[in-house]
Amino acid sequence: MIDIADRPEIAPELRLVPHAFRRTFGRPAEGVWYAPGVLNLLGGAVKVHAKWGAIVAGDRRDDGKLELVSVNRPTERALLPSTDVPAWAAPLAAFPGGATLMCSVDLPQGSGLSAGEALRTAVGLALRDLAGNAHEEPEAAQLDLPGQRLLVVDTRVRREKPQEERSFTPRTGDLGAALTAYHHAQDPDPVQDAVVKAALAAGARGASMLVDPPGRPAVALVDADLVPAVKKAITKAAEIPPRYLTITPARFRTEALR
């Protein structure tokens, strides 16, 4: 059987992680799993998935331990259960053991696409498959947004104090208007407020803060041809040049390769 890392029909980004697993542990991975980043709009009432996310490769182990290594932080390993868990692995501390996993997340924590949620999903898929349990693929929101984009703005601002999200019930089917109403119902950080105001002034259909600790990200619904102008306006209003991700919402599938 050909090692997953050497199968040319598999996307390069999916081969990279099992290749790192083989280089680290000296044996091929049993499988590789992918889960997308999650854009939680309107307090999670609408979930949109992006192509960026988390990839996990690994195999089973018989001692009941969960060994975790990160491609992004190779020196910060975790062997769970443990009281000494690196920050990147903390969301996985309560997971069951029985596997050695190499993890890769191509989203910064707090960037607006819930990197921790993507990693938890990918690891959960891996553990269920390695244990021989069936799982159902989650479904993404299917938004009808012809000619529009969701512009995710990572302000690159990180705060120690988590944001508290106020309850919100959308009162319109217009996503742009609902995003702006959601933003005004919250208590945004000043950097998020500046992003929203700049996006709306530049022609965005709607904009709001996002809750993704420890960051202070935001999102704007923008006509595709206005994306460059909206980005320019936001960058001009920000003290720190933000990072941007542009999403065209579409249905997604998780991937599990054995």
- pLDDT of residue 75 exceeding 50, the answer is yes
pLDDT digits (tens, 9 = 90+) for 82-104: 888 998 898 898 898 899 999 99
Domain ranges of the chain: 4-138+252-257, 148-247
**Are 4-138+252-257 and 148-247 in the same CATH fold?**
no
- Full 3-state SS string of the chain: CCCHHHCCCCCHHHHHHHHHHHHHHCCCCCEEEEEEEEEEEHHHCEEEEEEEEEEEEEEECCCCCEEEEECCCCCCCEEECCCCCCHHHHHHCCCCCCEEEEEEECCCCCCCCCHHHHHHHHHHHHHHHHCCCCCCCCCCCCCCCCCEEEEEEECCCECCCCCCCCCCCCCCCCHHHHHHHHHHHCCCCHHHHHHHHHHHHCCCCEEEECCCCCECCEEEEEEHHHHHHHHHHHHHHCCCCCEEEEECCCCCCCEEEC
The first and second tokens of residue 19, run together, are 């290749």
The CATH number, out of the four listed (1.10.287.3510, 3.40.140.10, 3.10.20.340, 3.30.230.10), of the domain defined by the range 4-138+252-257: 3.30.230.10
Choose the most confident range, by mean pLDDT, from 44-48, 158-162, 250-254: 158-162
As a whole number of angstroms, the distance between CA 253 and CA 136 comes to 10
- CA-based nearest residue to 113, from 211, 15, 258, 240: 211
pLDDT confidence of residue 5:
72
pLDDT value at residue 254: 46
Sheet containing 243-247: order of strands:
206-209, 218-223, 148-154, 243-247
Q: Is residue 138's pLDDT more than 60?
A: no
Question: What kind of fold does domain 148-247 have according to CATH?
Answer: Alpha-Beta Plaits (3.30.70)
Q: According to the model, what pLDDT value does residue 252 have?
A: 45
- What pLDDT, on a 0 to 100 scale, did the predictor assign at position 253? 46
Residues 158, 185 contacting (CB under 8 angstroms) = no
Asked whether the beta carbons of 28 and 248 are under 8 A apart, the reply is no
Q: Judge whether residue 1 has pLDDT over 80.
A: no
Mean pLDDT of the chain: 89
Mean pLDDT of 1-29: 82
Return the structure tokens found at 163.
């944001």
- Spacing of C-alpha 70 from chain mean position: 16
Task: Output the pTM of the full model.
Answer: 0.81
Q: pLDDT band for 257, please (50, 70, 90 cuts).
A: low
For residue 225, count other CB atoms closer than 10 A to its CB.
10
Residue-wise pLDDT for 17-27, tens only, equals: 999 999 999 99
Cα torsion 77, 82, 88, 94 to 10°: value is 130
Q: How do residues 51-65 score in pLDDT, each as one tens digit?
A: 788 999 999 999 999
